[in-house]
Each structure stands twice: as structure tokens, then as C-alpha cells.
Amino acid sequence: MNFRHFTLRSIAIAAAALLGAAALTPPPALASHGQGAASGILNTVTWRVCVSGWIDGQNASHYAIGQVSATEVNASSVHCPGSWNVSSYAASYPDSWYGSTSCVRWSGSRCAEKAVKLNGRTIGTTTQWRKTATHEFGHVAGLGHRSTNSSCMTQGAAPPIVTVFDAHDKSSINANY
């Protein structure tokens, strides 16, 4: 082939490779997890939530309590220190994840106490705070990840950033109790 042809062909291949890379590279991991999402289902439909830490995180946790309350879960914030079965704490963690949910006390195959962490180092906007908090509360209820734009249970920061549970999420939560 002549040089001109070779160059155009190379550019085309390079452009295709770049497009492929752009499509395959995951977006920043909004609501990805430092400690794993498979932390069981909280063992009661009555959630007493201790909300603390950064004020943006507290506001988002209260928003998430409202979202969970659209299901059969009866969630409310309680004073902490005190007695609770969910804690939601917002701080700056030295990691790249946005939120994490873990079980800190097991009762058989279900979890008796869950700890949610919201990472103020990586979360920026109110929408991100709300999505991350609601997403993590979904994990508290035993939800896994989704790939639909209608649900907050997606991973990644690509728009649209959804801050609510869709009908499928809600029925899944209700089925867990």
C-alpha cells in the first residue's frame, strides 16, 4: 500500500480503538463499594437508623429514609448514641469508593446490624449524595445492583443519576420481608 493509504487506514483504526476504549472504560464508580454489597438482608422490617457525620451525608440519609419508607420497611432516624440497627455515617475516607454497606452483627443468615458509610471525599453534588445513600439503603434491604436507568441501584456516575427506587426495587424489598 502507499503511505497515504496506510496513514488514513491507521487513523481509522486508531479512531475505532479510541471509541472502543471510551465505550468500555467504566465511569467513575459512584456507589461502588469498598467492602462489598453482599452483606445480607437486615433481619427486621423496622429500621432504627443512627445518622451521623458530615451534614451533607446526614441530609442524604434522611432523604434515603424517606425513599425506603415508600416500601413496607418502616424506617426512622433515632438518637445516637442509643439503640439502632442501621448506622449511616458520612466522612472522608481515603478510598475511591462512594459508599459502602457491611453487616457488623449477624443473626443466622440475616444481618442484625448494618453499617453504611458515605464517602465525602468522592461524593460531590446533592444528587450524588442522595443516590449513594439511597443505593446503600437498598443494600441494607438486600438489593443487588441493576443496570436500568430507572433505579438508584445502578453503579457508576454516568447520567442520569437516579435517586429513587423503581417499582422493581420496591417489590424486591417487600419480597425480602
Please, what is the minimum distance in Å from the beta carbon of residue 135 to Zn ion? Answer: 5
> Would you say 47 or 97 has its CB closer to Zn ion?
97
Q: How far is the CB of 38 from Zn ion (least distance, A)?
A: 10
Minimum distance, C-beta of residue 163 to Zn ion, in the bound complex (Å): 14
Q: With the CA atoms of 138, 80, 98 and 142 taken in that order, what torsion angle do they form, in degrees rounded to the nearest 10?
A: -20
Question: 16 or 165, CB closer to Zn ion?
Answer: 165
Where does this chain touch Zn ion (CB under 5 A) — which range of 29-37, 51-59, 83-91, 121-129?
Answer: 29-37
CB of 32 to Zn ion, least distance (A): 7
Q: State how far the alpha carbon of 59 is from the alpha carbons of 83, 101, 126, 174, in Å.
A: 20, 18, 9, 25
The residue type found at 91 is A
37 binds Zn ion (CB under 5 A): yes
147 C-beta neighbours (distance < 10 Å), count: 9
CB nearer to Zn ion: give 80 or 95.
Answer: 95
Beta strands at 110-119 and 99-107: parallel, antiparallel or unpaired: antiparallel
Give the helix ranges, DSSP H, for the chain. 3-24, 55-68, 126-140, 167-175
Does the protein bind Zn ion through residue 161 (CB under 5 A)?
A: no
Please identify, using beta-carbon distances, which residue of 50 and 152 lies nearer to Zn ion: 152
Give the interface with Zn ion as residue ranges (CB under 5 A): 37
